[in-house]
A and B are shown apart, each in its own frame.
Chain A
Amino acid sequence: MADSAEEIQKHIKTYFMVGAILVVGTLITVAVAKFPIFDLGAPGVTPPDILAGLAIATVKVSFVMLIFMHLNHERPLIYKILAFTVVFALGLFFLTYLAWIDPAVYDHFWTRSG
C-alpha cells in the first residue's frame, strides 16, 4: 500500500476516476433496466437483464475493493481471510439452490420405489 505522501498524491487522481467509473456503471445499469433500447433478451426485466445488472454491479464492487479498500496491494493474511469468506458465502448460495428444489415438483429428486 502507498504510504508516503508523494505516493498518495499520485493516487488521488485514481480515486476520483474510480468515483466517475462507479457513476457511469450506475447509469449503465439504470439504462439496461429502464430503457427498451438497451433491453437484453425478451422485453422487460428478464434473466439476461438481471445477469447484466449483476455483472456491472460486480465490476463496480471490484473497483471499490481494489482501489478504495486497497486490496490491489494488501498483506497475504487479508487475502487468506477473504478466501475463506468467499468459500463460505458460496456455500450459503448453494444452500439456497438446494432449498429451491422442491420434491413435490421435481420428480427426479424424489423417486418412489416399489
Chain B
Amino acid sequence: MEIPYTVSAREDTGLWNAKLGIWLFLASEVMLFGGLFSGYIFLRLGAAGDPLYHWPSQELKILPGFVNTLVLIGSSVTVVMAWASLKMRKWDAYRRYMFITLGCAVAFMAIKSYEYYGKFTHSSVRLLDGTVVDGHIHQDLLVFEGVDSITVPTENPDLSFLAKYAFDSHAADHGHGESHAHPEGDAGHGGANQEENAQSVSGDAAHTGHSGESELRFLTPKGEVIEHLERHIREIQLLPKEEQPASIKLKLSRPVTLGVKPSMALSYDKKSFRLRNGATAQGHLTDDSMHIKVDAVDLRNVEDPAKSAAWDFLTPNHKEKFLSHADQEIAAFSKEHPKHDPLTIPDARKKAFWQKFKSKEEKHESTIPRKDIKFYASHTPKWNTYYAIYFTMTGLHGLHVIGGALVLAHFTFFGRRIYDKNPEHLCNRVEVGGLFWHFVDLVWIFLFPIMYLL
C-alpha cells in the first residue's frame, strides 16, 4: 500500500505529512529542553543565595566546547547542502555532504567523551574548614591489617567482599615498598594489585597467587578446617530456627589485609568494621586517609587562607607561593578596578584564592586524614548542582546527536533505492532528518555559552 502525502502536500494542511510530524515532534522537544533550561536557571539563581557555593562559571575548558560548536555549525551547513544537492539531483555531492555531516557527529561525540572522561577521573575534596582541594585520588580505602576472622549474617552470608577488598602484605611489597598496600595501583588506573590478590581469598580455600604464601583456608571458631565452605554455610542455614545462629563466624587460617571502600562500610573503628551487607571483621585499622595527587587548592570559603587545613599536607613552598600569588592578584585587581572591592567580586576571588598547580613538580602527592574530610566526589552530579544539570543537559543532547546521526546514516547508506524510485521522496526525508539535526545544533548554541562561558 502506498503511504499518502509523502511527497505531495495535503490540501487541508498544505504540508506533506512527515513535515507536519517533525514540526510537532520538534515542538515537544522545545518543551523538553525548555524544562531543562528553566531548571538550569532555577539552580543558578538558587546558587546565588548561598554564600558558601560558587556557581562554577567557566570551570570547564572552553576549547573543547568551542571546537564542538564549530563542528556542529559545520554539520548544519553540510546537512542543508546535502538536501540542496538532492534537490538539484546531484547524488555524489549529496553523499559527500552527508559523509561530512556524519564525520562531524562522530567528532562531536569523541570530544564530548574526552570531556566526560576528564570529569569522571578528576575529584574534589571539601575539608571541614571549607578548603577544597582538587586532584586525582589514588587510594581511598580503610585498610585493616591482621584480619583473622569474619562474621556474616546467616540469612545473607555474602563473602564476595573478601574477593573485592582482600590483599595481603606481599602485595604492598611488590612495587611500592610502603607499610600499607595500594590496591588501586600506582595512579588509580584499575588496581592491578587488588585484582591479583582478589583471587586469593575467594571460594572455598583458594590460593594466594604468590609463591611462598600459605594457602588461605576458612576454619570454624573451634579451629576445625572447613573443606567445603558453601556446604558448611548451607548446613547452618538448614538448622531449625531455634538452633540457628544469627551470624556465622569464620576464622581465617592466616591473617589478611583488607582495604574497604569507605562507602561500603556501615561503621568502623580502630579494631573492626561492619559492611552494608552485614558482614563484620576484626583487625587493626592502619590507614584511615585519602591519598590524592593535589593539582589545585580553592580557599574561597576559608576565612583566613593562611590557616587553611591544606597547609597541613601540602609543603611550606605551596603555602608561600599560594599566599603571595593571592596577594598579587588582589593588588592587581585593585589597581585595575579601583572602584571595586576585589573580595566582593566573584571573578577576583576566584583568581586569587583558587589556584591550580600546573607543573609536575607542583602537583603534590598528599595524604588527607579522613577525619578532616567533609565531602568528596568526582566532578559528577554528586559534586554539585552545576554538574548535575551539565550532565543531564549535555547527556540528553548527546543522545540526540547519536539519534540524529543514525537517521542521517540510514539516508546516506540506504537512500539510493528511494532516490531511484522518486528523488523528491528522499529529498523530503532528508529535509526531515535535517530539521532535527538543526534543532540539535540550535540547542547546543544555547548550551555552549551557559555551560562553558557564562
Contacts and interface: CB of A to CB of B under 8 A. Distances in A.
A78 B23 contact: yes
A16 interface: yes
A99 B42 contact: yes
Interface residues of A, number: 52
B87 A5 contact: yes
Majority DSSP secondary structure for residues of A touching B: helix
Given A5-B87, A26-B69, A29-B453, A75 B38 contact: no
B77 interface: yes
B445 A57 contact: yes
B435 interface: yes
A100 B30 contact: no
A110 interface: no
Nearest to A60: B445
A65 B449 CA distance: 19
B58 interface: yes
Q: Chain B contact residues: over half helix, strand or loop, or mixed?
A: helix
Interface in B7-39: 13-15, 19-20, 23-24, 27, 30-31, 34-35, 37-39
Contact of A84 (B27, B62, B80, B450): B27
A56 B348 CA distance: 26
Interface string B438-454: 11011001101110011
Contacts of B62: 30, 34
B76 A68 contact: yes
A83 B49 CA distance: 35
Contacts of B19: 78
Interface stretch (B163-171, B297-305, B339-347): B339-347
A74 to B, nearest CB: 9
A114 interface: no
24 contacts: A2-B87, A15-B77, A19-B73, A23-B73, A30-B66, A34-B62, A42-B345, A44-B346, A45-B57, A45-B453, A61-B445, A64-B76, A75-B14, A76-B14, A77-B20, A78-B19, A78-B23, A81-B24, A88-B34, A89-B34, A92-B38, A93-B37, A95-B38, A100-B45
Interface of A: 2-3, 5, 8-9, 11-12, 15-16, 18-19, 22-23, 26, 29-30, 33-34, 42-45, 49-50, 53-54, 56-57, 60-61, 64-65, 68-69, 75-78, 81-82, 84-85, 88-89, 92-93, 95-96, 99-100, 102, 105
